[in-house]
Copies of this chain bind each other. A is one copy, B any other.
Amino acid sequence: MAMTRVTPTPPTVAVFDVNETLSDLSGLVPRLEEVGAGPEILPAWFAATLRDGFAITAAGGLADFASIGVPMLASMLNEGSLRGSALESAEHVVGAMADLDLHPDVAPGLRALVEAGVRVVTLSNGAARVAESLLERAGLRDLVEQCLSVADAGRWKPAREAYTYAARRCAADCGELALIAVHPWDIDGARRAGLRTGWVSRAAGAYPPFFLAPEATGRDLPELVATLTRGGQ
């Protein structure tokens, strides 16, 4: 008797995280060097910015990504080695987040999704114009239906309201959406809100055991898209 192969239904809409999932933050290093700082500050800065943004979210508030990221970076820069003031230097670096390159697997992954008939949107804890700018620079803006920001949801990811806002803007149910991200906290939050999930692991280590696990994982975006849409592994 032949086995029945159950092919997963593709999601209706792929909802992309932006910073680090689409964009390569290592592109901030030249700006850090321009202001007189080293690259080792980057992961600590991004983690601390998310920590404080999530704290405000957990406490019921809402803050703008740059309004946390800029003073956070300024507080971490060593005044003595800077060419300008810490705040000006931090603005110069964080302002480059809209001018970063996309990871090389993003373009083929987005094309594979669109060819499979999946709608594509972005949902960022940063400003919508950052995602617009990144996609335009890469010549991929026409593949993406909408660039959404949690600022209009009133709550940052991973609060449930951020994901349900995206579903509403896509005129779809949460279960028709697949959140695609490199950040396990985003996968966890999307699952709790009832979305499907895909984790791009790239060079990351094991998925943390304390977060809800993704439905599909790929080392790069084309591999993940194959798993999510055509039952590939």
Contacts and interface: CB of A to CB of B under 8 A. Distances in A.
Interface of A: 43-44, 47-48, 50-52, 54-61, 63, 67-68, 71-72, 75, 155-156, 158-160, 184-185, 188-189, 192-193, 205-206, 208-211
A61 B185 CA distance: 12
A141 B55 CA distance: 30
Nearest to A48: B47
Contacts of A210: 52, 56, 63, 67-68, 71
A160 B44 contact: no
14 contacts: A43-B44, A47-B48, A51-B185, A52-B208, A56-B158, A57-B58, A58-B155, A58-B156, A59-B193, A60-B159, A61-B188, A68-B208, A75-B205, A75-B208
A206 B87 CA distance: 13
Nearest to A76: B205
Contacts of A68: 208, 210
B58 A159 contact: yes
Which residue, of A71, A159, A185, has the highest number of chain B Cβ atoms within 10 A?
A: A185
